[in-house]
Each structure stands twice: as C-alpha cells, then as structure tokens.
Amino acid sequence: MRAYYMDNDPSDQRLAHDSGRAVDAETLDALGVLRWHIPVDPEGKWESEVDAIANERHYKNRDVVVVNKEGMGDQFEATLKKFYHEHMHEDEEIRYVIEGGGYFDVREAPTDEWIRLHVGSGDMLVLPAGIYHRFGLDMGMKSRTMRLFKDEPKWIAHNRGVDTDVNPFRVDYLKALQSKGVAVGA
C-alpha cells in the first residue's frame, strides 16, 4: 500500500494522481486509518490472519465483491461513480483486497486535502466511522475485495454535505481526532 497526497487533477480517476508528496504512517495513524499487508497465498494462510483481525475487531459477517466490467455489465460505470462520490459511513469500513487494485482516498483533517491510498492484492484497510472518503479502481480496472461487517452486511453511504457534517458519527470522529491532538478547524 502506498500513501500520498493527490495532485488535484480532475482527470481520469483511475490514474495515480500522485503529487510527489508521500504521506507517512504517523499521519495515517492520527487519522485513524489502520492497515496491514497480508499476502494472498495459494495455501490460504491469509484467511487465518484476516480472521484474527476480524475477531479482534468483532466482525461477524463478510462477503466478497467483484468489481469489473465483465461481471457487472451495464452497472459497472454507475457503481464506480457511486463508490467515487465523497461519503462517510456510520460504521468502520474494513476491506481486504484479494485480487486487483484501486484507490481509497481519505480527507485529511484539518487541511481537507485528499490522501490517496493505492491498495492491491494482500492489502487490508480499516477506515474509521465518520471519515470522508471514496473508492476508485486503478488502471487494472478490477478488484475482488472482501468486505467485513460487525453485523449484517450493509453498505450505506452518507454523501458529504451540510447534514453529514453534523452527523453524530462525523462529530464523534472529529472529537476523536482532537483528543489525539489533531486540529480539526472550526
């Protein structure tokens, strides 16, 4: 997994858009972004490592989502647009990339800059509830990803806006950042 600030070029979201400014582990830690690299191996050892993290974080359910043109047909472009729209969730978002790759973009506090996390096979990521983010595929144009859930599988996005800015999960996220000494602005 590679983390860097985006270059703010609005062209094709599948491109790297690397500003040349790397983001260090401390910055991601301060934002509450957790990450692991667990190589996908033919023997399936990765599954026990993913299970251990899931158990530690009290995840009870999971599914696997395949995002590619072949499998999704006419829904492919609409689904990518939905994922790439800036949003937050009221629960952690935890993903393990089995195959393919893409970008999780997260908003940094207090700058509101996009930090791009390029994920690929074997990368596991936890985004905290309340963090603004989005997802897009990279130039490989495919991803097979395990999603983990504390309860029943659900994916409810709250698109960024005035109402979302005061959502209790967003407010709690900002308070958690402040308790870590991160300035979050007005």
Contacts of 52 (CB under 8 A, 6+ apart): none
Q: Are 150 and 91 in contact, with CB atoms under 8 Å apart?
A: yes
pLDDT of residue 182: 86
Known binding residues are 87, 89, 93, 133
Residues making up the binding site for Ni(2+): 87, 89, 93, 133
pLDDT tens, 87-102?
999 999 999 999 999 9
Residue-level pLDDT at 151: 85
User: At the top level of CATH, which class does the domain 2-179 belong to?
Assistant: mainly beta
Query: Given this model, what pLDDT does residue 21 score?
Result: 98
Q: What is the pLDDT of residue 152?
A: 80
Annotated binding site for Fe(2+): 87, 89, 93, 133
pLDDT tens track, the chain, 186 positions: 999 999 989 899 999 999 999 999 999 999 999 999 999 999 999 999 999 999 999 999 999 999 999 999 999 999 888 889 999 999 999 999 999 999 999 999 889 999 999 999 999 999 999 999 999 999 999 999 999 999 887 778 999 999 999 999 999 999 999 998 888 865
Q: Tell me if residue 61 falls in helix, strand or coil.
A: strand
Query: What pLDDT was estimated at residue 84?
Result: 92
Please state the pTM of the whole predicted model: 0.94
The answer to whether the beta carbons of residues 63 and 153 sit under 8 Å apart is yes
pLDDT given at position 185: 66
CA angle 63, 93, 16 (to 5 degrees): 100
Rounded CA separation 73/27 (Å):
38
> pLDDT digits over 10-32, tens only?
899 999 999 999 999 999 999 99
